[in-house]
Structure 1
Amino acid sequence: MKFKAITLILACTMLSACQTANHVEVIAGEQTITPLHQNGEREGRFNNLYPGKKTYPTTCKSNCYPTSPKLQCEKDSENCQFIGEQQPMNLNTGFSLRWLGHAGFMIRTPNGQQVLLDPVKEQFDSPVDLAFRLASGFYRQPGDWLTDSELKNLDAVMYSHIHYDHFNKADIEEIGNKPRYLTPLGMADNFPTGGFNISEMAWYAKTNIGDLAIHALPAHHFSSRVLVPFIYEDNDKDLWNGWLLEQNGSTLFFAGDTGYSKHFSDIQQKYGDIDVCLMPIASYYSEDNPKWYRYVHTTPEDALTAAQELNCKIMIPWGYGNSSWKMGDRTSHSALLRLLYMHKKMDSKIPLHILNEGESTKL
């Protein structure tokens, strides 16, 4: 009998079959949206609120990437540092943040909660990691990462969607099961096993961590997580979200990966003007399929238009940078050059706050 028990313990250790199951709750119901196709071959798959052909209020058509004295680059807008003078904010929201690179942010709320958005420490999960490197010859330069103290004191980790550049299982295992994980609908089955506390949230669902209100919001994107992208069987079985943090009357919005659509004005109508907007400006460029890339990613001018519709008091862009993957981008900082140019050309009244990877700011 003792031999059988020892054998079982060894088997559990070797096969990880005895790991603690994850706890998963679904937050949906009245006043929320679960955007599923209702019929046809896509029935049961998630959908955008405003699908179909798009028109865009502003499009840069020529001379979109002029050099800027605000960027110090090694060569041809590659490996750059923003050195421009920041505009004064005077917001006093109580939020502070550090940009980890790409879509990753470490947020400290006015009352001290620590929230992590879309962390990806290095490249992709294996084996896509190796395949991408072999196919492209490119390997992402790691961005900033959390200190040991931050890892131990996280209250929540929030993911916008399952794409490899926003969700990495190896990082989840390093972060551990102490914080609460917030995800779009359908995403929990992508987690490793290990006693993780996961809340899947429909669009416009709300939850709280202490006195921090967290709202799951619409985005205009898609999902897939397969070895070969765009395989039908995997597409859109998991939802994609933006997020809104609200505390002490102050708001911070994270758009997630998204194209431009009417959902931005919907959000403003529901929640009012937004204090801090973390907006994507990259991965919109493709000579092979330009309409598709822009359909699911905002150009810098789309991001500025969206920020205007949200009536953001400050816009912090992301997606460019030395630790970006440059998927659908000309260079590491071409998107930022276009943003600086279009901000002036559009006479945008939304103040910009530009960060380099690893930099922090108090808002």
Structure 2
Amino acid sequence: MQNHLKVIIAAALLSACSSPNTVNVIAGQESVIPLHNEGERAGRYHNLYPGDKHYPTTCTDDCYPETELLQCNDTPLHCLYQGQQNPASINTGFTVRWLGHASFMIETPNGEHLLFDPVKEQFDSPVDLAFKLAGGMYRNPGFWPTKNELNQIDAVMYSHIHYDHFNKADIEEIGNQPRYLVPLGVADNFPTGGFNISEMAWYASTPINDLTIHAVPAHHFSSRVLVPFIYEDNNKDLWNGWLLEQNGNTLFFAGDTGYSQHFSDIKQKYGEIDVCLMPIASYYHEENGKWYRYVHTTPEDALNAARELSCKVMIPWGYGNASWQMGDHSSHSALLRLLHMSHNMNEPVPLYILNEGEQVRL
């Protein structure tokens, strides 16, 4: 009898794992689908504002001065931010917990629970193995939600399919109870298992209860290795930022992005943004720095973007003890540069600095 029960349970689990996913596409009249229509790039996505960039501000000298606000065991490695902060200047009801790198858990004013770009530990295979063989740095594990917290998740949003933002093993652990919101084309990258996936065009919107979720542009690119060291899917799938709106309050997650006019476009369409989660890392590369900055914001780019969005508070991400140090001098060099440039630029947008695993109600 016990063996028979085990067979039934195993069959049920196998059936659940092989269940087809449900995929729908959301694109309204005001949506933007940035596809090349002809030429060798036909059917591939593109940024709204390609071409050479003008950056309003660039730090050139003494960009990473030490500060007493950042206590480090090995400057600037293994650090904790210890500055005094006051989140009481706004009252949106959003609770933001930084899980590490680009991953966030959000509780909305009315109690929905959401995840942005959840990646628990390392990359999916085969990049995980290739990265290890090439001597790449392995990150410390992020502050992953508990099983009980994962069971309460209403929606999971991914900005794009790069390995540090999208991990199939984590999707399988999170499970098929939440709704998954992704850019156009991304559903093809999911494991099977009965996942409910909505692909969204830029400026498309969808509700979850009385929470409105908007897919918004980012300035980036898309690729995911199919054969080790060979990319055959460049820009086959779109890339997004995300904007949450509830009770008249807004929270913006920029995703990976370079500096571009799309920030001003978002402000023009949606008005002032209350809480902005902005990337500040992966802009530095000795041999290919121009390209890295083209698709990633420097700290000063992020500050300028936050001003253009009229953010009432900016929370930076991408640095940290649970980062891969991709494209940066060290784990916290981007934060040192942010603190330095915020002071030098006399920026009006307040910063709220989280250490990984910390949360704040704003």
TM-score, scaled to structure 1: 0.94
1:49-102 deviations in Å (ceiling 9; x for gaps): 000010100000110000011000011201100011114432110100110000
SS of aligned partner of 2:129:
helix
Rounded Cα–Cα distance in structure 2 between residues aligned with 1:12 and 1:226: 32
Instruction: Establish whether residue 342 from structure 1 lines up as the match of residue 341 from structure 2.
Output: yes
Equivalent residue, structure 2, for 1:119: 118
Amino acid paired to 1:29:
G
Equivalent residue, structure 1, for 2:208: 209
Rounded Cα–Cα distance in structure 1 between residues aligned with 2:251 and 2:221: 23
Rounded Cα–Cα distance in structure 2 between residues aligned with 1:18 and 1:353: 41
SS of aligned partner of 2:232:
helix
Instruction: Establish whether residue 196 from structure 1 lines up as the match of residue 195 from structure 2.
Output: yes
Rounded Cα–Cα distance in structure 2 between residues aligned with 1:125 and 1:233: 17
Deviates more, 1:340-349 or 1:147-156: 147-156
Pair 214,143 (structure 1): closer, same or farther in 2 beyond 3 Å: same
**Does structure 2 retain, via aligned residues, the 8 Å contact 1:128–1:227?**
no
The count of corresponding residues between Structure 1 and Structure 2 is 356
Overall identity of the aligned pairs, in %:
73
Rounded Cα–Cα distance in structure 2 between residues aligned with 1:14 and 1:273: 47
Cα offset for 1:38? 1.6
Cα offset for 1:233? 2.6
Cα offset for 1:138? 2.0
Amino acid paired to 1:343:
S
Instruction: Establish whether residue 46 from structure 1 lines up as the match of residue 45 from structure 2.
Output: yes
Structure 1, unaligned stretches of length 5 or more?
Answer: 1-8
**Does structure 1 retain, via aligned residues, the 8 Å contact 2:127–2:228?**
no
1:222-263 deviations in Å (ceiling 9; x for gaps): 000005688563100000000000000000000000000000
Rounded Cα–Cα distance in structure 2 between residues aligned with 1:344 and 1:14: 55
SS of aligned partner of 1:234:
coil
**Does structure 2 retain, via aligned residues, the 8 Å contact 1:106–1:114?**
yes
Task: Describe how 1:1-363 pairs up with structure 2 within 5 A.
Answer: 19-226=18-225, 231=230, 233-363=232-362
Structure 1 stretches of 4+ moved >2 Å: 9-18, 87-90, 227-233
Pair 246,78 (structure 1): closer, same or farther in 2 beyond 3 Å: same
Rounded Cα–Cα distance in structure 2 between residues aligned with 1:105 and 1:212: 17
**Does structure 2 retain, via aligned residues, the 8 Å contact 1:12–1:18?**
no
Amino acid paired to 1:63:
D
Cα offset for 1:134? 1.6
**Does structure 2 retain, via aligned residues, the 8 Å contact 1:87–1:351?**
no
Rounded Cα–Cα distance in structure 2 between residues aligned with 1:18 and 1:361: 36
Amino acid paired to 2:149:
E
Amino acid paired to 1:178:
Q
1:107-140 deviations in Å (ceiling 9; x for gaps): 0000000001000000001221121112124211
Structure 2, unaligned stretches of length 5 or more?
Answer: 1-7
Equivalent residue, structure 2, for 1:3: none
Rounded Cα–Cα distance in structure 2 between residues aligned with 1:207 and 1:29: 10
**Does structure 1 retain, via aligned residues, the 8 Å contact 2:77–2:321?**
yes
Cα offset for 1:29? 3.3
**Does structure 2 retain, via aligned residues, the 8 Å contact 1:48–1:219?**
yes
Cα offset for 1:15? 8.2
**Does structure 1 retain, via aligned residues, the 8 Å contact 2:161–2:223?**
yes
